[in-house]
Amino acid sequence: MSQSNDSSNPEEKEHDLESIFQQKRILRSQVRKTLKFMDPSLRSHEDNAIQKIVLEAPWFKSSQRLCAYISCSALREVDTSKLLSQILQIPNADGDTKTRKKLYVPRVEDKNSHMRMFHISSIDDLIANSMNILEPAPVDADGNEREDVMQANEPVDLFLLPGLAFDRSGRRLGRGGG
Q: What contacts 100, CB < 8 A, 6 or more positions away?
A: 87, 88, 89, 90, 91, 92, 121
Residue 65's beta-bridge partner residues? 102
How confident is the model at residue 130, as a pLDDT?
A: 83
pLDDT digits (tens, 9 = 90+) for 80-101: 999 999 999 865 556 555 557 9
Binding-site residue numbers are: 24-28, 70, 77
Report the b/e string of 24-63 with b at 16+ CB within 10 A: eeeebeebeeeeeeeeeeeeeeebeeebeebeeeeebeeb
Computed over every residue of the chain, the mean pLDDT equals 87
**Pairing relationship of beta strands 102-108 and 65-68 according to DSSP bridges:** parallel
Residue 132 confidence (pLDDT) above 70: yes
Quote the crossing angle between the two packed helices 81-89 and 40-56, to the nearest 10°.
30
Q: What is the DSSP letter of 100?
A: B
pLDDT digits (tens, 9 = 90+) for 32-80: 999 999 999 999 999 999 999 999 999 999 999 999 999 988 888 999 9
Domain ranges of the chain: 11-92+99-168
Highest mean pLDDT among 1-5, 52-56, 123-127, 137-141: 52-56
Angstrom distance (rounded) from CA 57 to CA 37 = 30
CATH number of 11-92+99-168: 3.40.50.10420
- Cα–Cα distances (Å) from 133 to 73, 74, 145, 159, in that order, read 9, 9, 20, 19
What's the one-letter identity of residue 82? K
Q: Does an H or E element contain 41, and which?
A: helix 40-56
- Taking phi over 0 as left and psi of -120 to 50 as alpha, with beta for the rest, 145 belongs to beta
- Identify which has the larger pLDDT, 15 or 107: 107
Binding-site residue numbers for ATP are: 24-28
Q: Does an H or E element contain 159, and which?
A: strand 158-160
How confident is the model at residue 80, as a pLDDT?
A: 94
Angle at 152 between CA 148 and CA 157, to 5 degrees: 105
Binding-site residue numbers for substrate are: 70, 77
Residue 111 confidence (pLDDT) above 80: no
What's the one-letter identity of residue 125? D
- The predicted model scores a pTM of 0.80
